[in-house]
Structure 1
Amino acid sequence: MREPSLLAVVKIAQLFGVILDELINLEGKVPTEVKVEDKTIAEKLRLIEQLEEEDKQALYRIIDTMLTKSKFKDFFQKNMLD
């Protein structure tokens, strides 16, 4: 069985928002999810940067679509009132 590198362990701890000691002393309990809603914007951006490139691009496309939709909605609401 291959042991993870220290760098891999550090990245796992960062991903789950725990310190190394908490990660090492989980007593067999592995976190199942990252609660991103509790993170600051800077932490969320750091987590996004850790994604694989394909996943990052998919997320960026979703964000772009939502921003475009919001701009169109604002534009049409403003022009419908005039």
Structure 2
Amino acid sequence: MSLGITIRKIREQKGLLQKQVAADLGIGHTNYNKLENGNREPSVKELQLLARLFDMTVDQVLNYEGELPGEVTLEDKPEFERIKLINQLDEDDRSTVFKIIDTMLTKKKFKDFFNKNVAAL
């Protein structure tokens, strides 16, 4: 997929009009139209502005695969799927998640221990 087509798809998925994006880039509508039609490549500055406007990174725009990622929520997912999603995180993020869980479980054990022993007094 050409970069122009990619930019058009992202713009459409974001619900933006060509004239809005052209104005944000500081270029005329005709120049922007050429960009989406593949008759002109965006400058580095224009690409950076597009990424910011689309709330994406330049890399995400350049490597776009046809659909914007949606928000991921674990709350409504079954346990096995939650673990699967956590395991998709990179090593540092996964480690952080498990440290948070460890801390919460330790806190719960102390709370349960305290409540049990205070009730026994």
TM-score range, shorter chain: 0.5 to 0.7
Partner of 1:7: none
| Structure 1 moving runs of 4+ over 4 Å | none
**1:1-82 map, 5 Å:** 30-82=68-120
Higher relative contact order (Cα pairs below 8 Å, separated by 6+ residues) = 2
| Runs of at least 5 residues in structure 1 that lack an aligned partner in the other structure | 3-27
Q: Percent identity?
A: 54
- Give the Cα separation in 1 of the matches to 2:118 and 2:96: 33
Tell which structure's C-alpha radius of gyration is larger: 2
- Report what 2:8 is aligned to: none
What do the CA deviations read for 1:37-72 (whole angstroms, capped 9, x no partner)?
121100000001110000000000000000000000
Normalised by the size of structure 2, how large is the TM-score?
A: 0.43
Q: Give, in angstroms, the shift of residue 34 of structure 1.
A: 1.0
CA RMSD of aligned residues (A): 2.1
Deviations 1:9-60 (A, max 9, x none): xxxxxxxxxxxxxxxxxxx652430122121100000001110000000000
Q: Number of aligned pairs? A: 57
